Amino acid sequence: STAIALSEKKIYGYFARTVPSDEFQTKVFVDIIKKFNWTWIGTVASAGDYGEQGIKQFNQQADAEGICNAADLKIEDTEESYLTAIQDLLDVENPPTAVILFLRSDHVRGLLKAAETRGAVGKFFWLAGDGWGTQTEILDGVQHVAEGCLTVDVESAYPAAFKSYYVNLRPGQNTRNIWFESWWEQKFGCTVSPREPWMNTTPKPTCTGNEKLDERTFRMDSKVGFVISAVNALARALDKLLKDKCPHASASQPMCQEFIEFDRRAFHRDYLMKVEFSDTEGFTVAFDEQGNPEYPRYDIWN
């Protein structure tokens, strides 16, 4: 999760993450705005923690830099909400040059369609976060409304070895993942294993065995690299603890009592939070005092 609230250590004292907090994303927004010398902007946020906390953090940083917010808007899951937001932006006496979007992907599409309906194509420069990011599919039919936009997305290591491993998996050989067979059936619209008649609400053909994952049928989530780094961080911390507390561990007795009974708070403080290593792309993975990545990275897309 990238939620800003999770950085509050008084509440989430033992939380850590390899993906950057949205707080860093708002700093990128401010840097871009300063680069273009914009001082009069508008903001639109999705209702809920992601949008509202993100825009709150952005407004604090923007205010400190002398950037004025002409319209601070929030939208819900309704077409009326999208249309109202666009109209509110248009009704500002001096409409903002740029509009900062802290929106979920479905809200991005709804807002762009509303901009077309209200005749606001080309009226604003859109600057959006990872809710839009590199998701080009949400622009189908409204590409002309988004023309010239800038989007910000977290830069993640691309785990090529993991993708190669995953696309070569097949039902029957991936038994460690109890959900893989169901996912495969949903992906290819077929049935891997015979079903009892009462289980087949909508009968599907039996999978032929020729189904396979490739560039056309499989798109790896851009955040997979962060998941791999998170697992790696925990594994390295446990390995360091094991070597410190059980120096004489063996295959027949891999753990000792001191390792098993080690205080979990001390493990978080003295081992997990002190992990440092390079990810699959050679970038350093480490944590700051809030449990956020020490070196957050972002891509800016046009």
Rounded to an integer, the average pLDDT of 207-222 is 85
Structure tokens of 50? Answer: 């992601």
The number of residues in the chain equals 302
Cα→Cα distances 108→90, 111, 145, Å = 18, 5, 11
How sure is the predictor about 256, in pLDDT bands with cuts at 50, 70 and 90? very high
Please compute the mean of the pLDDT values over residues 197-223 and round it to a whole number.
79
What 3-state class would DSSP assign to 277? strand
Q: 148: alpha, beta or left, given left = phi > 0 and alpha = psi -120 to 50? A: left
Distance of CA 186 to the CA centre of its chain: 24
Q: Which two tokens stand for residue 130?
A: 């990872």
> Taking the chain, what is the end-to-end CA distance rounded to the nearest angstrom?
25
Which token pair is 9?
């250590």
In the chain, pLDDT over 70 holds for what percent of residues?
97
Q: Residue 199's pLDDT is what?
A: 56
| Mean pLDDT, residues 255-266 | 95
Which band of pLDDT confidence, cut at 50, 70 and 90, is reported for residue 209? confident
